[in-house]
C-alpha cells in the first residue's frame, strides 16, 4: 500500500520531533509460541525492526549526529506472543462519525483473531463507548467469521457509533466484568484521547489489558499517519460531486458550481479532489485564509473569471472561512467540537447578493455530498488498506503491545504511542508540494487583499 502524494510533503516536515515518543508499552514477556508458527509464516518481525521517523537523506544525515535516530517499531506478527489465544477475550468498539472502511477493519480483526490465532471470544461493543455503560442497556454483539463475512460490502459500521465522552472508570469496570484482555478502538482524535484515559485507568488498577487504536477519520487529519482509511474513497466520491457541479456550471449563463466537502480543520479532501479532477477553479480550505470583498477577494476574482470564461467551480472544505462566523454564538456537539458555520450556504448567499448588486445574472448550483460520501462502502484501495490495518492491530495486541496506534508511515506499517498520536492535528502544509499542486491545478491566485 503506497502512501498518496499527500504523504510525501508531510512526512519530512515535522517541527516537533523532540516531543514525539517512539517507545511502545508492553504488558510483559512474550513466552507463548505464536499459532502462526504452525502455518509456515516467513514474515515474522522483531521489536528491534524499525522504520525511520524521517526518511529523506538530508534529514537522516542531520539526525545521525545524535546518539539515536528517531524511529518507529515495525508492525507485524511476532514469533512469540503474550496472550494465550485459548483464554483470550477481545472487544471491538467504533466511535465518532462514519467513514468508508470501518466494517472492513472490523472484519479483518475478527478474521485474523479467529483464523490466525484461534481466538474464539470476540465481542462487538454497540454504539461507541456508551456500549460499556450499564445505564444505556446495550447488549454486546458476538462477532464470528460468519457474522462479519460480508460486512465489507456495506458502508457504516455494524456496531453502530456515537460521540461524546464516557467515564473511564465505568469502561474499565465493564472490561473487567467481561474478562476482556484486548480492546480494539477504531476512531479519531477524540477516541484516541479517550483510549489514553482508559489505558491510564487500567495502569492505575495494575491489570493486564491491551488497548490498540486504529486511526479512523475521513478528514485525514490524524498526526503521524500517512493517510487514514476512507480518505481515498472520500476523494473519489467528492470528485463525482465536483463533476456534477462542473456540468451544471457550464450548462447555464454565468454558471457557478459550488461544492462543500468534509474537512473541519484540515482541507485534505478538498485539496486532493481539486488535484485529481482539475476542473476546480477555487479550492478553499481551513489552512488558507481568504477574503470575500476587495480587489483581490473571492467575489472580485469570481467576477473576473465569469467575465472571461462564463463559468466557475468552487470547492470549499467545511472548516474554510470560519472567520466570517465569529459573531455567531458558539455551540458544541456531543464530542465538544465547536459547531461550524455553514460556509457552503454562506458563500451561495454572498455570491448571489454580490452579482445581484452588479446587475449580472448568475446561476449558482450548490452541492453538499458530505453524508453520502462518509456512508458509502470503501473502494478497493481503502479496503486493502483497512485489511492491513486490522491484521497488524491484531498482531500487535497478541504480542502484548498496548497504549498504541497502528499506522502507515514511510510506506510501512508501524506502532506509534498514543501520546504521540494526540500531540497535534495534521494539516495541509501551505508551503508543501501538495498545496503547490492545488494552486497549479486551479490557477487560483491569493485571495487575500494584504
| Radius of gyration for the alpha carbons in the chain, expressed in angstroms and rounded | 24
In 79-144, alpha helices (H): 102-111
CA gap 318, 262 in Å, rounded: 5
- For the record, the C-alpha cell of 24 comes out as 511502545
SS3 content of the chain, % helix, strand, coil (to 5): 40, 20, 40
CA distances from 437 to 14, 265, 290 (A): 20, 20, 18
Beta strands in 58-160 (DSSP E): 71-74, 80-81, 89-94, 121-125, 141-142
User: What residues does 413 pair with on adjacent strands?
Assistant: 408
Rounded to the nearest 10°, the torsion over CA 438, 443, 446, 447 is -100
Q: At what angle do helices 298-309 and 343-358 cross, to 10 degrees?
A: 60
In whole angstroms, what separates CA 36 from the centre of its chain? 30
- For the record, the C-alpha cell of 44 comes out as 515474522
- Give the contacts of 137 (CB within 8 A, at least 6 positions apart): none
CA gap 31, 354 in Å, rounded: 71
Of 49, 84, 173, 219, which is the active-site residue? 219
Residue 140 · residue 123 · CB < 8 Å:
yes
**Long-range contacts formed by 31-34: CB under 8 A, 24+ apart:** 31/80, 31/82, 32/80, 32/81, 32/82, 32/83, 32/84, 32/85, 33/79, 33/80, 33/81, 34/77, 34/78, 34/79, 34/80, 34/81, 34/117, 34/398
Q: Which residue has the cell 545524535?
A: 66
CA gap 377, 379 in Å, rounded: 7
Examine the residue annotation and report whether 219 is marked as an active-site residue of this protein: yes
CA distances from 134 to 137, 170, 182, 184 (A): 5, 9, 20, 20
Residue 398 phi, psi (nearest 5) = -65, -25
Residues taking part in catalysis? 219
Amino acid at each position: 500500500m503506497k502512501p498518496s502524494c499527500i504523504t510525501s510533503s508531510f512526512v519530512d516536515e515535522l517541527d516537533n520531533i523532540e516531543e514525539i515518543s517512539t517507545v511502545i508499552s508492553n504488558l510483559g514477556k512474550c513466552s507463548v509460541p505464536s499459532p502462526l508458527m504452525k502455518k509456515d509464516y516467513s514474515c515474522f518481525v522483531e521489536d528491534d525492526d524499525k522504520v525511520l521517523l524521517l526518511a529523506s537523506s538530508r534529514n537522516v544525515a542531520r539526525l545521525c549526529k545524535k546518539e539515536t535516530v528517531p524511529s518507529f517499531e515495525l508492525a507485524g506478527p511476532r514469533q512469540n506472543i503474550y496472550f494465550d489465544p485459548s483464554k483470550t477475550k477481545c472487544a471491538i468498539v467504533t466511535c465518532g462519525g462514519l467513514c468508508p472502511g470501518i466494517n472492513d477493519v472490523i472484519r479483518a480483526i475478527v478474521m485474523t483473531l479467529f483464523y490466525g490465532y484461534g481466538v474464539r471470544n470476540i465481542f462487538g461493543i454497540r454504539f461507541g463507548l456508551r456500549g460499556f455503560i450499564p445505564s444505556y442497556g446495550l447488549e454486546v454483539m458476538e462477532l464470528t467469521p460468519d457474522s462479519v463475512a460480508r460486512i465489507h460490502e456495506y458502508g457504516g459500521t455494524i456496531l453502530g457509533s456515537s460521540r461524546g465522552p464516557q467515564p473511564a472508570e465505568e469502561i474499565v469496570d465493564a472490561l473487567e466484568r467481561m474478562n476482556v484482555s484486548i480492546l480494539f478502538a477504531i476512531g479519531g482524535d477524540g477516541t484516541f484521547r479517550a483510549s489514553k484515559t482508559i489505558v491510564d485507568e487500567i495502569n492505575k488498577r495494575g491489570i493486564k489489558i491491551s488497548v490498540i487504536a486504529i486511526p479512523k477519520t475521513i478528514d485525514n487529519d490524524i498526526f503521524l499517519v500517512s493517510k487514514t482509511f476512507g480518505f481515498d474513497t472520500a476523494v473519489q466520491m467528492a470528485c463525482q460531486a465536483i463533476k456534477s457541479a462542473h456540468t451544471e456550471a457550464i450548462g447555464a449563463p454565468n454558471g457557478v458550481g459550488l461544492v462543500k466537502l468534509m474537512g473541519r480543520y484540515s482541507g485534505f479532501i478538498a485539496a486532493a479532489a481539486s488535484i485529481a479532477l482539475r476542473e476546480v477553479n477555487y479550492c478553499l480550505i481551513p489552512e488558507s485564509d481568504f477574503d470575500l470583498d476587495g480587489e483581490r477577494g473571492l467575489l472580485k476574482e469570481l467576477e473576473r473569471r465569469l467575465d472571461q470564461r462564463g463559468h466557475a467551480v468552487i470547492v470549499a472544505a467545511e472548516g474554510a472561512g470560519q472567520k466570517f462566523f465569529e459573531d455567531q454564538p458558539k455551540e458544541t456537539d456531543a464530542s465538544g467540537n465547536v459547531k461550524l458555520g455553514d460556509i457552503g450556504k454562506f458563500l451561495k448567499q454572498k455570491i448571489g447578493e454580490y452579482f445581484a448588486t452588479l446587475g449580472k445574472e448568475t446561476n449558482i448550483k450548490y452541492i453538499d455530498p458530505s453524508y453520502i460520501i462518509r456512508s458509502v462502502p470503501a473502494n478497493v484501495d481503502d479496503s486493502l488498506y483497512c485489511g492491513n490495518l486490522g491484521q497488524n492491530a491484531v498482531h500487535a495486541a497478541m504480542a502484548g503491545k498496548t497504549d498504541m496506534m497502528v499506522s502507515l508511515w514511510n510506506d510501512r506499517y508501524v506502532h506509534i504511542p498514543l501520546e504521540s498520536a494526540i500531540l497535534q492535528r495534521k494539516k495541509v502544509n501551505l508551503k508543501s508540494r501538495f498545496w503547490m499542486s492545488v494552486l497549479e491545478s486551479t490557477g487560483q491566485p491569493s485571495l487575500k487583499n494584504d
